Amino acid sequence: RKLFASEVNFVKGVVNMKGLPPADRPEIAFAGRSNVGKSSLINALFNRKQLARASGQPGRTQEINFFSILEDLFVVDLPGYGYAVAPKAVVDKWTAFTQTYLRGRTNLQRVFLLIDSRRGVTDVDKGIMKTLDRAAMNYQIVLTKADKLKKSELDDVMEGAVQAIKKHPAAHPRIMMTSSEKGMGLPELKAEIVALI
């Protein structure tokens, strides 16, 4: 069946563990700083313009959004982190729920941890990587917005990411480089997803 072409549906936005859909199929999740391009990447991968809200406003996605691909896969758009303007209590609540989700979700196959190519791996990303290591959750770095940089700059960013994952046992050794806007790296990322299910 065609995973990336048909019947992609929004399931629900979830704000606590009770709201999670049944863990009855493989699941992948997209994590990263606010504005890193999570929603855009999900839209580009699954060929849907309006599937996941994408906006220039950081912190817009405030819940864990579930999408289903046929009956074969759940795709999860996690709330962005590192958005300082949201009230601290709200940020802490997102973080607590997201961490509980990451630790407890039995059908979650891999987290794709998105890193903005222009920023590289920041301290807040490294904190999230530690959380994922502690949860023994497999994760894979996906560099985003590669269309914004020159080839030589991309090489530096890739090298920085290679160095950054060295101390992180749960990180996948292969780092992906993508542009949702230009379609770069999307076939490779799709192949990673297909291999998980």
Residue 6 binding ligand GTP, by CB under 6 A: no
For residue 63, the minimal CB distance to Mg ion (Å) is 10
> For ligand GTP, which is the closer residue by CB, 50 or 106?
50
Distance CA 75, CA 156 (A): 30
Distance CA 22, CA 32 (A): 24
Residue 50 phi/psi, 5-degree rounding, is -110, 10
Candidates 7-15, 53-61, 63-71, 90-98: pick the segment binding ligand GTP (CB under 6 A).
53-61
| Spatial contact of 153 and 145, defined as CB atoms under 8 Å apart | no
Candidates 10-18, 96-104, 134-142, 173-181: pick the segment binding ligand GTP (CB under 6 A).
173-181
Residue 192 binding ligand GTP, by CB under 6 A: no
Tokens of 121: 């791996």
For residue 79, the minimal CB distance to Mg ion (Å) is 8
Name which of residues 25 to 44 contact ligand GTP (CB under 6 A).
32, 34-40
User: Residue 42: left if φ>0, alpha if ψ -120 to 50, beta else—which one?
Assistant: alpha
Name which of residues 116 to 135 contact ligand GTP (CB under 6 A).
none
> For ligand GTP, which is the closer residue by CB, 25 or 154?
154
Residue 65 binding ligand GTP, by CB under 6 A: no
Distance CA 117, CA 149 (A): 8
Q: Residues 70-88, buried b or exposed e (16+ Cβ, 10 A)?
A: eeebbbbbbbbbbbeebee
For residue 106, the minimal CB distance to ligand GTP (Å) is 25
Where are the strands (E) in 54-196, listed by range? 64-69, 73-77, 108-116, 139-144, 176-177
From the list Mg ion, ligand GTP, none, pick the one residue 181 interacts with, judged by a Cβ distance below 5 to 8 Å according to partner type.
ligand GTP
Residue 61 binding Mg ion, by CB under 5 A: yes
Q: Could you tell me which residues come within 8 angstroms of residue 9 by beta carbon, excluding any fewer than 6 positions away? A: 67, 68
Residue 148 binding ligand GTP, by CB under 6 A: yes
Residue 39 binding Mg ion, by CB under 5 A: yes
Question: Site residues (CB under 6 A) for ligand GTP?
Answer: 32, 34-40, 54-56, 58-61, 80, 144-145, 147-148, 179-181
